[in-house]
């Protein structure tokens, strides 16, 4: 019999995320339509910061990752948070394979945020994107046209 006494504060091996996330700061250039100086895009792309990214103005916003060389992508994880106002957000995630000119849609999703209840949305996609040279995320923060600003707590790619 093999035994191990674990403390309650030790994370279980089963719940640990062992995904090898890409180092996006080293592998890609990022373009975006706007950025609040207090919430830069780096905050959503690195594990060291938990403030996330936020647009500097309302309306649909685009975040585009342009890879220095083609990447094999098997997983994309997005985390959105909204604690201040009720709204319905829509996002579209696209990719561009090397050697092509037309991007391809991965997913289009809507989600309702309710500050008294649903304040987070975690999307985790298993994909098989061969030779990806671009990942693009378009966020419409409020499909009813309100003054909400787009935000993204985290974007991770493996």
- Residue 77, pLDDT score: 97
**100: in domain:** yes
- Residue 116, pLDDT score: 86
Q: What is the pLDDT of residues 30-60, one digit of tens each?
A: 999 999 999 999 999 987 778 899 999 999 9
**1: in domain:** no
- Mean pLDDT, residues 90-102 taken together: 97
**135: in domain:** yes
Domain that holds residue 147: 24-157
**6: in domain:** no
Number of domains in the chain: 1
E strands along 16-147, which residues?
Answer: 28-32, 53-54, 61-81, 87-97, 104-113, 120-140
pLDDT band, residue 69 (cuts 50/70/90): very high
Residue 49 phi, psi (nearest 5): -120, 140
- Alpha-carbon gap, residue 138 to 91, rounded angstroms: 5
Which residues, at least 6 apart from 134, have a Cβ–Cβ distance to it below 8 Å?
64, 65, 66, 67, 94, 95, 96, 103
- Alpha-carbon gap, residue 62 to 141, rounded angstroms: 11
- Mean pLDDT, residues 51-76 taken together: 97
- Alpha-carbon gap, residue 11 to 51, rounded angstroms: 23
What pTM, to 2 d.p., does this model score? 0.86
Is residue 142 within 8 A of residue 89, CB to CB? The reply is yes
CATH code for the domain in which residue 34 is found? 2.60.120.260
- Residue 4, pLDDT score: 59
Q: By three-state DSSP, how is residue 155 classified?
A: strand
- Alpha-carbon gap, residue 46 to 25, rounded angstroms: 8
- Alpha-carbon gap, residue 141 to 105, rounded angstroms: 19
**71: in domain:** yes
3-state helix, strand, coil in the chain (%, to 5): 5, 50, 45
**9: in domain:** no
**13: in domain:** no
pLDDT band, residue 76 (cuts 50/70/90): very high
Q: By three-state DSSP, how is residue 42 classified?
A: helix
**119: in domain:** yes
Span of 3-7, 24-28, 38-42, 101-105 with lowest mean pLDDT:
3-7
């Amino acid at each position: 019999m093999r035994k191990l006494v674990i403390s309650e504060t030790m994370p279980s091996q089963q719940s640990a995320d062992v995904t090898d996330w890409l180092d996006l700061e080293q592998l890609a250039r990022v373009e975006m339509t706007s950025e609040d100086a207090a919430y830069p895009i780096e905050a959503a792309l690195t594990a060291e910061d938990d403030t996330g990214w936020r647009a500097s103005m309302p309306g649909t916003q685009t975040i585009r990752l342009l890879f220095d060389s083609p990447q094999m992508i098997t997983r994309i994880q997005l985390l959105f948070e909204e604690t201040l106002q009720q709204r319905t957000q829509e996002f579209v995630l696209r990719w561009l394979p090397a050697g092509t000119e037309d991007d391809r849609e991965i997913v289009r999703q809507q989600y309702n945020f309710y500050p008294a209840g649903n304040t987070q949305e975690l999307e985790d996609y298993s994909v098989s994107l061969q030779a990806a040279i671009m990942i693009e995320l378009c966020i419409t923060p409020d499909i009813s046209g309100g003054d909400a600003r787009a935000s993204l707590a985290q974007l991770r790619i493996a």
